[in-house]
């Protein structure tokens, strides 16, 4: 559905109901200006743009972090055991 900005202003309640079914394109001075979306549609777009990994909640504890990134953590620990700390010779401790 496409409406003018004046029409959207005058019929805001109807536009809010309509955007629950489909996006409402708002034109200003004869050009597309904005799109009115439902909150669910907006959340889906944000989640899709972030990718599935970003849509998940970040780990809250060390155990959750290890469970999610076990392979990476084990690889970093093995690298540390094999190589040590980078630039360790220049550290003053």
Tokens, residue 17: 């109901």
Q: Which residues contact 68 (CB under 8 A, 6 or more apart)?
A: 59
Lowest mean pLDDT, pick from 53-62, 64-73, 77-86:
53-62
The yes/no answer on whether domain 2-37 falls in CATH 3.40.1620.10 is yes
What digits encode the pLDDT tens for the residues 9-39? 999 999 999 999 999 999 999 999 999 999 9
Confidence band, pLDDT 50/70/90 cuts, at residue 58: confident
Looking at the whole model, is its pTM more than 0.75? no
First to last CA, the chain: 68
Domain-wise residue ranges, the chain: 2-37, 41-83
């Amino acid at each position: 559905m496409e409406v003018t900005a004046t029409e959207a202003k005058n019929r805001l309640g109807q536009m809010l109901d309509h955007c629950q079914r489909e996006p409402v394109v708002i034109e200003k001075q004869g050009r597309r200006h904005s799109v009115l979306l439902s909150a669910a549609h907006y959340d889906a777009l944000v989640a899709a743009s972030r990718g599935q990994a970003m849509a998940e909640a970040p780990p809250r504890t060390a155990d959750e972090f290890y469970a999610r990134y076990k392979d990476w953590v084990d690889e970093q620990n093995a690298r540390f055991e094999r190589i040590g700390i980078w630039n360790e010779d220049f550290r003053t401790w």
